[in-house]
């Protein structure tokens, strides 16, 4: 009986070891179409996406599971007659399973503005299918159409099918993904990130896919985000902050996450702040502001929100607005107000919310007809409802006085920058089969730093706010034609 029992234990141990080895093999074998396999070309490019580069260039990024001999993009207007070379870097997902891939980056230079190009990427050991992109125009008279959203996962990506369809219809010039990808890119030994990058490839390989980091990218000091995405800007920014011009707008992408993951260092908050101020100063030089009058920021965590989840944006002194606690250093609201930021785009909350022009928790407006006609403070839009495994973030029952329109529908935002004075946004509801549920015309006859003043409410304003809370806010503000909150100077 003892020998028999010992043999049973040995057999069980062998079976257990065999099962472990099978699991290990599956976890370390590259995936293809969502399934582990060894029956595919490991040199074949996948997860292809593009981004605007410096000047007249386009950055093309892709992954393979073996490094290959070269990193090449063949491109041209009618044929693949031009070649650009780049580099591949080995990326190991930061966990115990060492899921490895090679991330290739090529910058295609000297493109003709506004011209459509076709391209393939890869090496003689494996080439991608053919994609196309349109080089960015340099003139400020161009009126780009942009898709805006954040918080899209590889599961429950409700907005993705409609976005893919609209990209195929050539509706967009660029896409801004405002943080939180895949949920999360490092999970499943990195395969969740691989799957997500494959899902977005049909749009991200054809339309510049501009990004900023969110909290779901924080694992291992944002290593998946820093390696998988390549944006314009300085090398020392690690894609965490950068800026670029598009049509009549100067767009600034930055990281709110520095304020929340201080275990990765306090220096990064200071470094980014000084970079932001230098970039804003340059954007406000008379010649630059005349050519690109709109200044638009995009980052993940909002300064304001009316959700009931107790996130930072629900607090009266949020870290993003006020900066480091107690000393209030490196807060961004004062900085953006000082340099005349026109529109601030956020995500993080799994909802959509449009705010009145606001600074320091006080509402600014110059018109009783349209509060967005020459506003005296920045306008905020939160668009984090593209769809993910965490679903929605409900709103508080009481609407904040600065909140104009809010929705829990899955969806995304379209933005068109028509010219130097008119910018238009609309919110698309996937729950309502693509219906536009909210619109905004932002009108600025002049751009630049706002007046140095702080607004305070008087008793009359408080009475007006109370009256407004009893009115259907959607019907009042959707068309922006009936009334607005009134504010006064101190």
pLDDT per position as a tens digit, 293-320? 999 999 999 999 999 999 999 999 999 9
- Quick check: 224 pLDDT over 80? yes
What is the average pLDDT value for the chain, to the nearest integer? 88
Torsion of CA 272, 274, 277, 281, to 10 degrees: -130
pLDDT at 26: 43
DSSP-based helix, strand, coil % in the chain, nearest 5 = 25, 30, 45
| CA–CA separation, 157 and 147 (whole Å) | 15
> How much of the chain exceeds pLDDT 90, in percent?
77
In this structure, which topology does domain 145-489 adopt according to CATH?
Purple Acid Phosphatase; chain A, domain 2 (3.60.21)
Looking at per-residue pLDDT, the higher value among 476 and 446 belongs to 446
Query: b vs e for 108-128, b when ≥16 Cβ sit within 10 Å of the residue's Cβ?
Result: beebeeeeebebbbbbeebbb
Mean local confidence (pLDDT), 142-146: 98
pLDDT at 127: 97
Q: What is the pLDDT of residue 8?
A: 60
Residue 242: C-alpha distances to residues 7, 53, 185, 398 (Å): 64, 11, 22, 37
Task: Place 5 in a pLDDT band, splitting at 50, 70 and 90.
Answer: low
Encode pLDDT of 154-190 as tens digits: 999 999 999 999 999 999 999 999 999 999 999 999 9
Domain boundaries, the chain: 2-36, 46-134, 145-489
CA angle (38 as vertex; 37, 42 as ends), nearest 5: 110
- The pLDDT tens digits of the residues spanning 260-293 come to 999 998 899 999 999 999 999 999 999 999 999 9
Candidates 1.10.20.140, 2.40.128.260, 2.60.40.380, 3.40.50.1380; correct CATH number of 46-134?
2.60.40.380
Task: Please report the pLDDT score of residue 486 as a whole number.
Answer: 25
pLDDT(12) > 70: no
């Amino acid at each position: 009986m003892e020998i028999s029992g010992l043999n049973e234990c040995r057999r069980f141990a062998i079976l257990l070891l065999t099962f472990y080895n099978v699991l290990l093999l599956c976890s370390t074998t590259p995936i293809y179409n969502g399934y582990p396999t060894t029956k595919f070309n490991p040199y074949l490019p996948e997860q292809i996406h593009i981004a605007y580069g410096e000047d007249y260039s386009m950055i093309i990024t892709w992954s393979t599971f073996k490094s290959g001999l070269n990193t090449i993009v063949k491109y041209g207007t009618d044929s693949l007659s031009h070649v650009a070379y780049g580099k591949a870097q080995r990326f190991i997902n930061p966990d115990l399973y060492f899921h490895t891939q090679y991330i290739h980056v090529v910058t295609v230079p000297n493109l003709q503005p506004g011209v459509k190009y076709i391209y393939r990427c890869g090496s003689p050991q494996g080439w991608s299918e053919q994609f196309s992109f349109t080089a960015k125009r340099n003139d400020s008279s161009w009126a780009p159409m942009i898709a805006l959203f954040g918080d899209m996962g590889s599961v429950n990506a409700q907005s993705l099918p409609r976005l893919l369809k609209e990209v195929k219809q050539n509706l967009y010039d660029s896409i801004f993904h405002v943080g939180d990808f895949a949920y999360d890119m490092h999970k499943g030994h990195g395969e969740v990130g691989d799957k997500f990058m494959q899902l977005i490839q049909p749009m991200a390989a054809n339309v510049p896919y501009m990004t900023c980091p969110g909290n779901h990218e924080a694992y291992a000091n944002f290593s998946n985000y820093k390696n998988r995405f390549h944006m314009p800007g300085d090398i020392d920014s690690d894609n965490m902050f950068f800026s670029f011009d598009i049509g009549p707008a100067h767009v600034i992408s930055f990281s709110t996450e520095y304020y929340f993951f201080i275990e990765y260092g306090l220096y990064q908050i200071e470094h980014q702040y000084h970079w932001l101020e230098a970039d804003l100063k340059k954007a406000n030089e008379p010649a630059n502001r005349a050519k690109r009058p709109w200044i638009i920021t995009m980052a993940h965590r909002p300064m304001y929100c009316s959700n009931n989840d107790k996130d930072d944006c629900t607090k009266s002194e949020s870290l993003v607005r006020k900066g480091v606690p107690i000393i209030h250093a490196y807060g961004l609201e004062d900085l953006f107000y000082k340099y005349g930021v026109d529109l601030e785009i956020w995500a993080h909350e799994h909802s959509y919310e449009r705010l009145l022009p606001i600074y320091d928790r006080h509402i600014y407006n110059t018109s009783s007809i349209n509060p967005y006609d020459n506003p005296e403070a920045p306008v905020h839009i939160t668009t984090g409802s593209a769809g993910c495994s965490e679903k929605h973030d409900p709103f508080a029952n009481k609407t904040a006085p600065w909140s104009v329109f809010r929705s829990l529908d899955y969806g995304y935002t379209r933005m068109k920058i028509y010219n130097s004075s008119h910018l238009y946004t609309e919110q698309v509801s996937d729950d309502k089969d693509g219906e536009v549920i909210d619109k905004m015309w932002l009108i600025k006859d002049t751009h630049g730093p706002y007046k140095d003043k702080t607004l305070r409410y008087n008793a009359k304003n408080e009475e007006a706010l109370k009256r407004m809370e009893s009115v259907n806010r959607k019907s009042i503000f959707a068309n922006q034609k009936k009334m607005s909150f009134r504010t006064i100077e101190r």
